[in-house]
Each structure stands twice: as structure tokens, then as C-alpha cells.
Amino acid sequence: MMDHPIRPDHNSDDSDSDGFRPTPKQIGVLVLAVLLVVFIVANADPTPINFVVTSVTMPLWIVLAGTAAIAFVVGLTFGIRRTKRRYQKP
């Protein structure tokens, strides 16, 4: 049997120190994602959707999921731009 060296930052009293610990932001995103899925599943009835020129009838969950996907992409895009701007040297 091979002994593994104890890392200097390892606290032997805390057995969870090597496990994954989500940040409050990650927990908040997870809660919002679960609420979004519940909301989408609860609204599955066909609904008329009015566009500028035309009107179609489709399940509302498709519209909600598409809107959430578009919002995710837009948020990701602006988040990346803000992060790049934050770390640029003046």
C-alpha cells in the first residue's frame, strides 16, 4: 500500500475539502435554470404567436425555450465582452 503525502493546505478534520463546492452564483444559476424548466413544462399548451407580419400556432414551450436560448446567447456574448474589457490593460 502506498501512502499519499498530505498536502499542506489539507485539513484532516474536513473530509469535504477535496470535493466540488459550488459558489453562490452557481447555486443561483442552478435555481433559476430549474425554475425555467418547471415554467416551460407547465406551459405546454398550443398558443397563437403573433409576429410582425404573420401569426402561427405552436406549443408555448417551444417559444419559451427558444427565448431562453436567445437570452443565454446574448448574456454570454455581453458577459464575454465585459470580461475582456475588464482585463485589458489601459
pLDDT at 5 over 80: no
User: How do residues 9-65 score in pLDDT, each as one tens digit?
Assistant: 545 555 556 688 989 988 998 999 999 899 988 988 999 999 889 999 999 999 999
Give the list of residues 6+ apart from residue 58 with CB closer than 8 angstroms, or none.
46, 47, 49
Q: What is the reported pLDDT for 82?
A: 63
Nearest to 61 by CA among 76, 73, 49, 51: 49
User: How do residues 55-65 score in pLDDT, each as one tens digit?
Assistant: 999 999 999 99
Q: What is the reported pLDDT for 90?
A: 60
Beta strands in 1-90 (DSSP E): 46-50, 55-59
Mean per-residue pLDDT for 55-83? Answer: 87
The distance between the two most distant Cα atoms of the chain, rounded to a whole number of Å, is: 73
pLDDT at 2 over 90: no
Tell me how crowded residue 68 is: count the other CB atoms within 10 A of its CB.
15
Mean per-residue pLDDT for 55-84? Answer: 86
